[in-house]
């Protein structure tokens, strides 16, 4: 994997570049739709590629390991062959999912023992096993196994958690370097910066991660309960240290405004379930603000969902029709909203890239933040 940093905004740390993998190129800054179980919920592959224009999507190690299981994925020839997505993919290590299973998991130095949320069966994730699982899934970018520290953790817990993540990273790197990809193309491993909301821990973590010389680096443990301003502060602290010639991935973030703030601070890659999860609940993100499609005000509004929207659904369907679908609990409502939101997110990072290249990102961004904050 290579990263070509092409432009930097003259008045901020916003960057535009190109990541090249064996499955194609990714123009940054980029948003990555979340395909937890090998599918982006409610979205067909042709819509994902040709309408939403996703350049890279995510799969999740924890969920894919439990179902359909590694044997099925390996016999298919890896996740690309299994789900038909022939562009780059990234796999989360499952660290966040294990963190969220606090009632049914036990952490120790070796790894994490947990019970499946599906059938209660007992499993063990170690750094070595996670590397083997991610090799079998076959994503272009693999994430290191980490402990995702809660945003409200006290200093001592956050420090011990960070140190454990670093010891696990060394084991991940050893296993990664000892094994080969299974399907004839290269894979990259990204370490993850932890440290909660404590600047000195974030600095230590960023220095440790930077010293590993990985193809790219991730910032984890944010948007997990800490105040938004703390999140932005931690991004700044970390990006002062992470190498400028490698892509930076902010995990699990976030709202359209969060993404623009992250771009301004030098982040290149984003993912979040928000566009699809919120979409399924009737929330649409648009260029002019947020729409709750369950509201009565749309009941007889026969105008397009978004006249100058980024997807075909925006002009094919009216606001009144979409509101009707939500109130009738029709599955099509969730599909339309998911496609709209994902296309909007990809449009937004594409526009940010254009303005970084044009040199006026710092003028465009505050204007865009103001528009995105509006409730329609």
Q: Could you read off the pLDDT of 227-281 as tens digits, one per residue?
A: 999 999 999 999 999 999 999 999 999 999 999 999 999 999 999 999 999 999 9
285 known member of a binding site: no
Are 267 and 277 in a shared domain?
A: no
Are 285 and 147 in a shared domain?
A: no
State which of 240, 271, 302 marks the end of a domain.
271
Catalytic-role residue among 51, 92, 215, 268 = 92
301 is catalytic: no
| Domain range for 76 | 2-271
94 known member of a binding site: yes
Q: Which helix (H) or strand (E) is 335 found in, with range?
A: helix 331-358
Query: How many domains would you assign to the chain?
Result: 2
Mean pLDDT of 181-197: 97
Are 175 and 207 in a shared domain?
A: yes
Are 254 and 111 in a shared domain?
A: yes
User: Which residue(s) pair with 79 in the sheet?
Assistant: none
Comparing CA positions, the residue from 209, 229, 207 lying closest to residue 218 is 209
Reported as a single tens digit per residue, the pLDDT across 298-315 is: 999 999 999 999 999 999
Catalytic-role residue among 140, 215, 268, 271 = 271
187 known member of a binding site: no
State which of 221, 251, 271 marks the end of a domain.
271
Are 192 and 332 in a shared domain?
A: no
Are 201 and 293 in a shared domain?
A: no
The pLDDT of residue 358: 97
92 is catalytic: yes
42 known member of a binding site: no
The pLDDT of residue 107: 87
Are 248 and 353 in a shared domain?
A: no
Are 163 and 121 in a shared domain?
A: yes
CATH assignment at residue 96: 3.20.20.105
Q: How many helices (H) and strands (E) does the chain have?
A: 15, 17
Are 245 and 282 in a shared domain?
A: no
Judge whether 17 and 28 are in contact, CB under 8 Å. Answer: yes
In the structure encoding, which two tokens stand for residue 222, read together? 């944010």
Are 309 and 181 in a shared domain?
A: no
Are 261 and 333 in a shared domain?
A: no
State which of 251, 271, 291 marks the end of a domain.
271
Mean pLDDT of 46-51: 98
Q: Determine the longest span between alpha carbons in the chain, in angstroms.
A: 62
Are 94 and 205 in a shared domain?
A: yes
């Amino acid at each position: 994997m290579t990263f070509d940093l092409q432009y930097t905004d003259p008045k901020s740390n916003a960057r535009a570049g190109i990541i090249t993998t064996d499955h194609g190129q990714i123009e940054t800054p980029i948003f990555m739709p979340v395909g937890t179980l090998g599918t982006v919920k409610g979205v067909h592959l042709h819509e994902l590629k040709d309408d939403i224009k996703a350049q890279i999507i995510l799969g999740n190690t924890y969920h894919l390991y439990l179902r359909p299981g590694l044997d099925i994925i390996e016999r298919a020839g890896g996740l690309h062959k299994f789900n038909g997505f022939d562009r780059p993919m990234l796999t989360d290590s499952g660290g966040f999912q294990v963190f969220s299973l606090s009632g049914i998991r036990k952490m120790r130095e070796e790894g994490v023992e947990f019970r499946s949320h599906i059938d209660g069966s007992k499993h063990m994730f170690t750094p070595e096993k996670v590397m083997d699982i991610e090799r079998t899934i076959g994503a272009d970018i693999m994430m290191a196994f980490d402990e995702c520290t809660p945003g409200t953790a006290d200093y001592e817990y956050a420090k011990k958690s960070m140190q454990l993540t670093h010891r696990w990273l060394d084991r991940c790197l050893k296993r990664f370097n000892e094994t080969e990809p299974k399907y004839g193309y290269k894979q990259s491993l990204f370490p993850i910066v932890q440290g909660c909301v404590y600047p000195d821990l974030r600095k230590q973590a960023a220095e440790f991660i930077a010293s590993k010389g990985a193809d790219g680096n991730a910032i984890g443990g944010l948007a997990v309960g800490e105040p938004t301003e703390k999140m932005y502060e931690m991004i700044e602290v970390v990006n002062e240290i992470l190498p400028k010639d490698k892509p930076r991935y902010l995990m699990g973030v976030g709202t359209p405004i969060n993404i623009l703030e992250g771009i301004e601070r030098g982040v290149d890659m984003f993912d979040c379930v928000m566009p699809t999860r919120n979409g399924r609940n009737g929330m649409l993100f648009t260029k002019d603000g947020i729409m709750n499609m369950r509201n009565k005000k749309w009941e007889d509004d026969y105008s397009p969902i978004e006249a100058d929207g980024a997807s075909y659904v925006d002009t094919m369907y009216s606001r009144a029709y979409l509101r009707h679908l939500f109130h009738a609990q029709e599955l099509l409502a969730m599909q339309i909203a998911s496609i709209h939101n994902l296309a909007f997110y990809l449009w937004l990072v594409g526009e940010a890239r254009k303005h970084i290249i044009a040199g006026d990102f710092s003028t465009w961004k505050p204007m865009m933040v103001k528009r995105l904050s509006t409730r329609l």
